[in-house]
Amino acid sequence: MATTAEPIVRLTEALGKLPGIGPKSAMRLAYHVLQSSDAEVEELAESLLSLKNSLILCSRCFNVADKDPCSICADQQRDRTVICVIEKPSDIPPLERTSQFKGLYHVLHGVVSPNKGIGPDNLKIRELLPRLRDGEVREVILATNPTVEGEATAMYIRQLVTPMGVKVTKLARGLPYGSDLEYADDITLGQAINSRQGF
């Protein structure tokens, strides 16, 4: 009985660790890479290495970027009176696609999750507070995901921000509970931004 060559097995296992990629999809992708030209494979490999080696965190919002400050923070056309607090960098593209939000972002890089040993000090929560002290920011939108951990994180941030005199709102919950912003459709997400509520 023939067995699969070790390099294909290794690539299949590596691809299978990606979110949303099951064993069959990983195997199909591995064989696709095998059938690709050397130039295509080299481009893929270089892109992966560049992704890890050339990206940094923006010192203002903690978004993943190739320069500091990131292009959003550097854009003088953005509304600097509003900051949208999100869990992860991958939440920014869907919010941007709605064309409804023109303010700045603050990326937490996770949520408070005591079961996983993640407390507020493991996130970029304290780094948000200096951004609110000069009085320019008038509203903080808490756009954490509608999960138990996301809600707990939002409540914690609200307790820190409210005494600073900054309005705190959250996305309207047309978003299904337990879902991620990253997977919400543009219309639902746009409506959630426009219908945000006091928190």
What contacts 130, CB < 8 A, 6 or more positions away?
Answer: none
Q: CA-to-CA distance for 48 and 34, rounded, in angstroms?
A: 17
* pTM metric for this prediction: 0.79
Summarize pLDDT for 148-186 with one digit per residue, the tens: 899 999 999 999 999 999 999 998 766 666 677 777 777
Contact 78, 99 (CB under 8 A): no
Q: CA-to-CA distance for 178 and 191, rounded, in angstroms?
A: 18
pLDDT at 125 over 90: yes
Which residue do the tokens 């993943």 mark? 64
pLDDT at 73 over 80: yes
Compute the C-alpha angle 11/14/18, nearest 5°.
130
Mean pLDDT of the residues in the chain: 91
Q: pLDDT band at residue 1, thresholds of 50, 70 and 90?
A: very low
Q: CA-to-CA distance for 68 and 100, rounded, in angstroms?
A: 25
CATH superfamily of the domain spanning 6-53: RecR Domain 1 (1.10.8.420)
pLDDT at 10 over 80: yes
pLDDT of residue 164: 96
Q: Give the count of beta carbons closer than 10 Å to the beta carbon of residue 134.
A: 7
Query: How is residue 135 written in tokens?
Result: 């009085």
Q: H helices within the chain, ranges in order?
A: 6-16, 23-35, 38-53, 71-74, 92-97, 148-161, 186-194
The residues spanned by each domain of the chain are 6-53, 70-198
pLDDT at 7 over 80: yes
Assigned fold of 70-198: Dna Topoisomerase Vi A Subunit; Chain: A, domain 2 (3.40.1360)
Among 51, 180, 187, 196, smallest CA distance to 43 is for: 51
Q: How far is CA 161 from CA 78, 80, 115, 117, in A?
A: 22, 17, 25, 24
Q: What is the mean pLDDT of residues 44-68?
A: 94
Q: What is the mean pLDDT of residues 91-106?
A: 95
Summarize pLDDT for 27-39 with one digit per residue, the tens: 999 999 999 999 9
